[in-house]
A and B are shown apart, each in its own frame.
Chain A
């Protein structure tokens, strides 16, 4: 196997694959970054335009007698490259002014919006709502400038017009499609890929078959090439960025120069604030362009540097990946893997489709979820990279380190903190144990009865008794909740028939628990019944006959024959139903909804509430990981005890 060339060839191939991966990924990253920069450029210039025009429109305290139409016409005339624009007023549902080509003749502004122009009014209303929302929450959450792609590939922008602090309408512009297209230089990438390979071929002759030195040589070459390419990318990106900011500044200066004369067309002169025009979609100024229209060099430098730091992180990740690949191929891992794959190719062929799906849609989301659990991601920070909101084990410490389960109230009564993890955990365990006990005992008793030889109507009973399993559980859960309704529910009616008082089921933890238990018990016994019935029917009648001949009582037969034969079927069923019940989301969520005050929440519904009602994604993820670990520990112990998976 180990020919004289094998080490050199391996490392050579490893280096080629590794550097192809590294440079290829880096090239793709650069291309994506430049494409984004190009889009950002169109968008930012359009934002400057729409913001400048909005300021001009908003500056008119009272529209002049001709309305706003002259202003828009003047704006278009003074700035030849200007896109068509519209001004929509919310009050009166009016199109105040428009330079859109379709708004001419009998459609010329100013006029009332027509029925088919409702989207325009809706957009203005949305912007109004967005501004109000952000203002009342004190945080930018909803975008205040809407950017849409037009069918022709251009950008449609809409920005709210404010007067005296209230949104009164919007300005809309539509820029044409951008035709510019940039691609990164492929020759540099090719060189960065080919050079280390060529150098390796050269040097490896000198080094010979010493694998550690060969490995070191390949690693150094790879790192060098990647570093060179990273510097190249950084320079390209910096040039792009400067060009972009310069273009934005130029547009700002052009608007600044033209606006006074545009305003004078409607005989108004108002102060303008060019430094606020270059803003993000929440109308927060980027502060890169100063009031005089020049670039703020210092800020720009800082921005570029911070972007470069991010890019370096990405490149480091790519490098690590490539190094791992290089080592894997170089030290023979790939060769061994190849042999294994070839030897078992039939088995792997059968498994691949399922495994691929599992990896993409089950295992990867799981790992991603674990990564989220180490951050304090909330609904506001979903677009930030995880490394920026990394908090380490803080979430876990908060969940597991909080022991304030109960405190003494002023009158000495014990008050539980239902949001505490340990309360919920305790509740979940009680919930699981009760449910599985009910499911198994009711299921087993019914199976034993149904297995009585010669009992009439057996098939009918069986069909009716399996029904709860067959009907979708979210339907029956909602019906059970209705049956426990304090006023209209039939259960309280029944209690009253027997002279009792109606119970407000969902106002005390215990009664609330009973409702969920009743529902889930009802849902889960058919499964156990079917499993037990199957196992019972597989016991040969001769064994019982033999036992009877020996004089065994019925109880003895049950203990010595029935139970042991049930065990192999029942134990896996119990294990799986423990896991199911522990995570029985639908019943708790739909029947008790955690009432009262979250006391009947189980772990999984609590995690759901943290994620989708409090929007604390990071915390909820950590909570879920804890649930997973609990189940994993349970599964491992159970597995050890029953040796259920030993035979695989």
Chain B
């Protein structure tokens, strides 16, 4: 592997240096979130600088380390603030969005990949174009439809319906790309063995498409878990807030409760980050499989 002598491989220490610098830049803001969360304070600045700070003082101010680490912010955000309830709302919404979104995307993606029918190209293109709809344009009509016509304002059902449908285009395109790479021979063989079309879809195609489905699920979950503006528009009861809306509540307007925000942010991020890393191995193959074939 190491190649011939002529090769001007860059020395590994240089690569490590680049990687270390980049990694530091990458994790620095995240370390700040952790620092503020564990500081037990509500302010953004953790070190009270003297009037004429020395370089050492300033150095202390830029190192992300809470003076006396404690869990006070976590305890009070869960106990004194309705954050636990918002988390439950978010979890229900995100899980239901994932289930509904993946179901809708799998069936539609499969049809777009396997069948040739009038309207197929138009349907695929319209899904693609819908990705370009500016959210602001649809926000007011969506409010009218969901709140006034369907009567689903301030409900989880309303949010789930909106999230699941808005995540369809991306998911369908990804799944369709992946389904395209699964050879048709398998299905034809099963057909000869007398399997019905739904059986083939459920037993053969879906298991083979696991990596792409995992990515789709991750995407839908993250969309439902992280979305902010639609939730803020469609929900106006405080006890129906989702976690992102609740977090915005801590540092929006005139309140500057950075400690609650940071503690909440960590709680919110943990499931997403965990899922993200768990599904990582699927992520790369799922995202690239559809496109690499060109």
Residues on A close to B: CB < 8 A? Answer: 340, 344, 346-348, 350-351, 353-355, 357-358, 360-366, 368-370, 372-373, 442, 445-446, 449-450, 452-457, 461, 463-476, 478-480, 482-483, 485, 487-490, 493-494, 496-497, 522, 530-531, 533-535, 537-538, 541, 548, 554, 568-569, 572-573, 576, 579, 583, 585-586, 603-604, 607-608, 611, 617, 620-621, 623-625, 627-628, 631-632, 635, 645, 647-648
Contact = CB atoms under 8 A, between A and B. Distances in A.
Given A474-B226, A483-B29, A355 B164 contact: no
Nearest to B4: A548
Contact of B276 (A470, A538, A611): A470
A611 B121 CA distance: 34
B199 interface: no
Contact of B283 (A360, A465, A522, A530): A530
Interface string B185-203: 0000000000001000000
A368 B141 contact: yes
A344 B138 contact: no
A301 B43 CA distance: 66
A362 B27 CA distance: 37
A357 to B, nearest CB: 4
Given A454-B2, A464-B27, A534-B285, A350 B107 contact: yes
Contacts of A635: 128-129, 132
B30 A467 contact: yes
B288 A569 contact: yes
Contacts of B268: 472, 475
Contacts of A466: 276-277, 280
26 contacts: A347-B117, A354-B104, A357-B168, A365-B137, A366-B141, A446-B22, A449-B18, A449-B19, A452-B10, A454-B1, A455-B16, A457-B16, A465-B19, A466-B276, A467-B27, A474-B226, A475-B268, A493-B58, A493-B62, A496-B53, A530-B283, A583-B135, A625-B137, A628-B134, A635-B128, A645-B128
Nearest to B129: A632
A530 B134 contact: no
A101 B39 CA distance: 57
Contact of B135 (A442, A479, A585, A632): A585
B141 A470 contact: no
Nearest to A347: B115
Nearest to B107: A350
Contact of A475 (B23, B131, B247, B284): B247
Interface of B: 1-4, 7-8, 10, 12, 15-16, 18-19, 22-23, 25-27, 29-30, 32-33, 43-45, 53, 55, 58-59, 61-62, 103-105, 107-108, 110-112, 114-115, 117-118, 120-121, 123-142, 144-146, 161-162, 164-166, 168-169, 172, 176, 197, 222, 225-226, 228-229, 244, 247-248, 251, 258, 261, 265, 268-269, 272-273, 276-277, 280, 283-285, 287-288, 291-294
B141 A364 contact: yes
A353 B128 CA distance: 18
A91 B111 CA distance: 69
Contacts of A496: 53, 58
A538 B145 contact: no
A303 to B, nearest CB: 26
B26 A465 contact: yes
Given A351-B111, A357-B168, A362 B138 contact: yes
A360 B107 contact: no
Contacts of B161: 357, 361
Contacts of A373: 137
Nearest to A459: B280
B165 A361 contact: yes
B133 A472 contact: no
B168 A533 contact: no
Contacts of B120: 347
Contact of B244 (A360, A456, A474): A474
B273 A467 contact: yes
A323 B15 CA distance: 72
Contacts of B105: 354
B272 A471 contact: yes
Contact of B136 (A358, A468, A541, A604): A604
Contacts of B141: 364-366, 368-369, 372
A134 B140 CA distance: 24
Contacts of B61: 490, 493
A648 B121 contact: yes
A369 B138 contact: yes
B258 to A, nearest CB: 7
Contact of A538 (B137, B222, B288): B288
A106 B66 CA distance: 60
B145 A548 contact: no
A355 B7 contact: no
Contacts of A632: 129, 132
Nearest to B286: A534
Given A493-B62, A522-B25, A585-B229, A568 B284 contact: no
Q: Among the interface residues B133, B137, B145, which one has the most CB atoms of the partner chain A within 10 A?
A: B137
Contact of B117 (A344, A463, A475): A344
A608 B134 CA distance: 10
A313 B175 CA distance: 45
A541 B2 CA distance: 12
Given A465-B26, A533-B284, A604-B134, A474 B33 contact: no
Nearest to A526: B26
Given A358-B165, A366-B137, A635-B128, 19 more contacts: A344-B117, A351-B123, A354-B108, A354-B168, A358-B127, A362-B133, A368-B141, A368-B144, A463-B277, A470-B276, A472-B265, A482-B32, A488-B45, A493-B62, A530-B284, A534-B288, A534-B292, A583-B135, A648-B121
Contacts of A372: 140-141
Nearest to A648: B124
A269 B87 CA distance: 62
A611 B135 CA distance: 12
A487 B49 CA distance: 10
A357 B164 contact: yes
A14 B200 CA distance: 40
Contacts of B293: 568
A572 to B, nearest CB: 5
Contacts of A450: 19
B115 A472 contact: no
A449 B18 CA distance: 9
B135 A554 contact: no
A461 B258 CA distance: 29
A454 B2 CA distance: 9
A425 to B, nearest CB: 13
Nearest to A476: B29
Contacts of B103: 353
B258 A482 contact: yes
A108 B23 CA distance: 74
A645 B139 CA distance: 29
Contacts of B280: 466
Contact of A353 (B107, B138, B222): B107
Contacts of A531: 284, 287-288
Contact of B225 (A472, A494, A533, A623): A472
Contacts of B248: 474
Contacts of A362: 130, 133, 138, 165-166, 168-169
Nearest to A545: B3
A469 B276 contact: yes
A583 B134 contact: yes
Contact of B165 (A346, A360, A586): A360
A645 B294 CA distance: 10
Contact of B134 (A340, A357, A576, A624): A624
Nearest to B176: A648
B269 A522 contact: no
Contact of B265 (A340, A350, A475, A569): A475
Contacts of A624: 134, 136-137
B126 A363 contact: yes
A361 B142 contact: yes
Contacts of A611: 136, 139-140
